Amino acid sequence: MVTGFDDLVYGHIEVNNSEMDDQILIKTDGMPTYNFANVVDDHLMGITHVIRGSEYLSSTPKYNLLYQAFGWPIPEYIHCPPVMKDAQHKLSKRNGDASYQDLVAKGYLTEAVLNYICLLGWSPKGEYSEQELFSLEELVRIWEPSGISKSPAIFDPLKLRAINAEYIRRLPAEEFLRRAESWIDAAVHSPIDKKLLCANLQPRCEVLGEIGEQLDFFDQMPDYELTLYANKKQKTTPETALEALTALVPVLEDPALDFGDRDAVFEACRAKAEELGKKNGWMLYPLGVALSGKQRTPGGGADLACMMGRAKTLDRVRQAIAKLSA
């Protein structure tokens, strides 16, 4: 005799009863075994669909024999392939692999994680077959078990990161500020134009948890080498940086210049560069280094100046001039 069942992923499966061991239902201490308790518990809770890992395929006939013995309806089965860390190892929190909570704590968006996890071992069909980003409402509408693969899926952190970055870029500006604000506040404890900062961060941000490391210069200027002012593309050297920053001081000191207007500050710097017969980068790249001590920052020199405000900008520019003049 055989015991057969239908799985929505693997189809019809039959197992010879002679190949199954006799089930132990009650242990010597009088407590029921897991398999026995599981069937009773699922029935009492009215479980109609059982979704679990494919490693339980082999034990399903044992469950069904118990259902039949009790005269209970057998649930629908959906056995999913495992999610792998690599070709040989399954994902396992025991081995340090990230859980959903870990990913959210690192700054991944919930909707991005859900989107990526849904695509692990499942793929949409028809008009959605080439689509990668789905809202939860779309997934509820189009998801069907026939899209589940029988092959294991490999968890790709880079793919998750790319999907998360795309979700971040699609956020309305106000929503990005709301979600990023706690990360900004943890890193910056001095006054800063958060709206302008976020306008520069959002196109570059892939994971919210990495915002802080980009902002460490706002509270305290790091030590840096003068060679940082040398940039072949912008045609700058420490010597030209000294010239540029010295020329910028009276521009930045002008009380008529509104540091709340980024475009106005940029235009004033551009006009000074044009007056000197130079390109914008020749003027603005040294300004960015003087304000941050870094080669790459969330925003150019004019943006950083407006984020920090006039007083801090002038203080750092003067410190940079002194450093370059020493």
Which residues belong to the active site? 93
pTM for this prediction: 0.84
pLDDT one digit per residue (tens) for the chain, 326 residues? 888 899 999 999 998 888 888 888 999 999 999 989 999 999 999 999 999 999 999 889 999 999 999 999 999 999 999 888 888 888 877 777 788 999 999 999 999 999 999 999 899 998 999 999 999 999 999 998 889 999 999 999 999 999 999 999 999 999 999 999 999 999 999 999 999 999 999 999 999 999 999 999 999 999 999 999 999 999 999 999 999 999 999 999 999 999 999 999 999 999 999 999 999 999 999 999 999 999 999 999 999 999 999 999 999 999 999 999 98
The CA-based dihedral angle spanning residues 14, 17, 19, 20, taken in that order and rounded to the nearest 10 degrees: 100
Residues 6+ away with beta carbon under 8 Å from 231: 281, 285
Radius of gyration of the chain (CA): 30
- Domains annotated on the chain, with CATH: 2-80 (3.40.50.620), 93-167 (1.10.1160.10), 173-214 (no CATH), 226-325 (1.10.10.350)
Nearest to residue 173, comparing CAs of 134, 151, 202? Answer: 202
Residues 6+ away with beta carbon under 8 Å from 14: 2, 3, 4
Q: Residue 215 is which amino acid?
A: L
